[in-house]
Amino acid sequence: MKYKALIPGILAVGVIVLLAVLLTFAGNTVLYDAQKTAFSDNNKDPSVIGVMTTEESATILPLMEELLAQTNGVVIEIDSKDFEYSEKELNTYGSLLSRLKTNSGKLKLSNTDINDFVQSSSNMQISMSILNENIKKIEDLKQTASENLGNQELLNSIAREVLLLSKEIQLTASTYEGSSKTMTDIASLYNLDTSQALAALEYVKKIAADTETTSGGGGTGGSVSANLVVVPSVVKYGDIMTISGNLKNSNFETIGIYVDSNLWKDISAKGKTAFSEKYTIGKLTTGSHFVSLLLGSQFSGQEYFTVESSPTVLTINNTKQSDGENARLLTVIGRLSTDTEKFVSNATVNLYSIETGYLASGVTDSKGIWNASAELEDGVYNIYAEFSDPSFPLESSVSEVYEVYVSSPVFYYLIIAAAVAVFAFFIFRFVKGANKRKLREQNLRKANEESLKSAAMRAAEKLRRPAARKKISAGEMLVKIYKKTVKIIAGAEEIENPETKTPREVLKMTVKHPDKVKLFTEKYEYLHYSETKVTVEDIENMNTLSLEIIEAYNEQNK
CA distances to 74, 454, 456, 458, 462 from 465, in Å: 127, 17, 15, 11, 5
Residue 482's closest CA among 525, 533, 534?
Answer: 525
Q: How many CB atoms lie within 10 A of CB 336?
A: 26
Q: Kindly state the helix (H) or strand (E) to which residue 152 belongs, with its residue range.
A: helix 152-189
How close are the terminal C-alpha atoms of the chain, in Å?
A: 32
Asked if 429 and 8 touch (Cβ cutoff 8 Å), the reply is yes
Band the pLDDT of 45: cuts 50, 70, 90. very low
Tell me what pLDDT residue 37 has: 33
- Non-local (6+) Cβ contacts of 202 within 8 A are none
Range with the poorest average pLDDT among 66-80, 330-344, 434-448, 521-535: 434-448
Q: Are 400 and 37 in contact (CB under 8 A)?
A: yes
> How far is it, in rounded angstroms, from Cα 326 to Cα 324?
5
Distance between CA atoms of 305 and 291, rounded to whole angstroms? Answer: 8
Give the whole-angstrom CA distance, residue 340 versus residue 311. 9
**Can you tell me the mean pLDDT for 139-166?**
84
Largest CA distance in the chain: 150
DSSP 49: G
DSSP string, 207-262: HHHHHHHHHTTTTS-SB--EEEEEESSEE-TT-EEEEEEEES----SEEEEEETTE
Summarize pLDDT for 70-103 with one digit per residue, the tens: 998 899 989 888 888 889 999 999 888 888 887 7
Residue 555: predicted pLDDT:
81
Lowest mean pLDDT among 14-18, 116-120, 220-224, 519-523: 220-224
pLDDT at residue number 329: 86
What is the pLDDT, as a whole number, of residue 31? 24
Which uninterrupted H or E stretch holds 159?
helix 152-189
Mean pLDDT of the region 311-327: 82
Does the CA dihedral 120-125-128-134 come out positive or negative? negative
CA dist., res. 251 & res. 253, Å (int): 7
Distance CA 532, CA 208 (A): 136
Over 50: is that where the pLDDT of 356 sits?
A: yes
Task: Of 258, 308, 261, 262, give the one whose Cα is nearest residue 288.
Answer: 308
Name beta bridge partners: 229: 244
Spatial CA neighbour of 162 closest among 136, 133, 141, 132: 141
Q: What are phi and psi of 374, to 5 degrees?
A: -145, 140
In a 13 Å sphere around the CA of 184, the CA atoms on its Cβ side amount to 18
What band does 28 get if pLDDT is binned at 50, 70 and 90?
Answer: very low
* Percent over 70 (pLDDT), the chain: 78
Does the structure show a pLDDT above 70 at 520?
A: yes
Helix (H) or strand (E) holding 93: helix 83-106
Q: 369-375 and 329-338 as β-strands: parallel, antiparallel, unpaired?
A: antiparallel
* pLDDT higher than threshold 90 for residue 332: yes
